[in-house]
Amino acid sequence: MLPVFLARLKQGHRTLPYPAEAPSLPDRFRGLPVIDATKCPDGCQKCAEACPTSAITTADGKVRLDLGRCLFCVDCLEACPEGAVAYTQDHRLATRTREDLVLDGQTLKLAESLDEKSRRLFGRSLKLRQVSAGGCNACEADLNVLGTVVFDLARFGVQFVASPRHADGIVVTGAVSENMRTALLETYAAVPAPKLVIAVGACAISGGPYIDNPEVHNGCGSLVPVDLYVPGCPPHPLTILDGLLRLLGRLEDRPRS
């Protein structure tokens, strides 16, 4: 046991100081994508044509970006001849409504907190049941990472539980395949009211790369009411954590960099 204690002392404090301090992210991190419409020549649709999920559309002279469909790939970036598409280092992406994920030049409206009654119920102790409704395991893996010593989700009173009957809500990942439809609905029904639904990842929000496939339901929004949308493919653990803390009213906003 002595070598274990010595190794632990050598490692020191491993938990991120977030949210007390802004997180440090690697240069290769792909945060909030932005499109500089001033660089877009009239009639150019190369970024929209390259997008595998039609997350980028052009209409009425405006370029719209649907973060709920975005896979955070670089197809649009590589296709744009003017360099109008770029990724920022901003990890804050979660919203309360599906409509807020559709951007046409405006600032992303970040998730607002629950009402006062709901914050009293869930603000200090939130138990969640995760439902993988046809996911590839990427979003699921980043949810699991939140339980490690680095992120330490439990310090905020948020924990994942094994049974929906012990939960305050569900976290849905995956495009909701037809085979998982009943499982999702029964899990949701088993959670005592009042309850929350959190959609994590492009698949759970819109179907992701499988959008409009007849074997998927294009995410969970058509089957259960969603309280929080966390876009990404997969979203970074900090993006998920940021959304959860905003939902619970536990996070003070900072200006965008």
CA distances from 230 to 220, 235, 240 (A): 13, 7, 6
Tokens 């979660």 locate to 94
Q: Establish how many alpha carbons lie within 13 A of residue 30's alpha carbon, considering only the half-sphere containing its beta carbon.
A: 16
Q: Is the pLDDT of residue 222 over 80?
A: yes
- How many domains would you assign to the chain? 1
In a domain, 181, yes or no: yes
Stated length of the chain: 257
Quote the distance between the C-alpha of residue 63 and its chain's center: 22
- Residue 3 located in a structural domain: no
Per-residue confidence (pLDDT) for residue 106, from 0 to 100:
82
Structure confidence at residue 11 (pLDDT): 67
Structure tokens at 92: 């804050």
pLDDT in tens, 27-71: 999 999 999 888 887 778 899 999 999 999 987 778 899 999 999
133 vs 127: CA distance, rounded Å: 19
User: Does residue 24 belong to any structural domain of this protein?
Assistant: no
Q: pLDDT tens digits, residue range 68-85?
A: 999 999 999 999 988 889
CATH code, domain carrying 163: 3.40.50.12280
The partner residues of 131 in beta bridges, in order of sequence, read 172
- The conformation of residue 126, written as its DSSP 8-state character, comes to E
pTM for the structure as a whole: 0.92
Whether residue 71 lies inside any domain: the answer is no
**More confident of the two residues 40 and 254:** 40
**Structural domain contains residue 35:** no
For residues 195 and 234, what is the distance between their CA atoms, to the nearest angstrom?
Answer: 24
Determine, yes or no, domain membership for 185.
yes
Give the C-alpha separation, 58 to 64, whole Å: 6
Domain hosting 124: range is 116-247
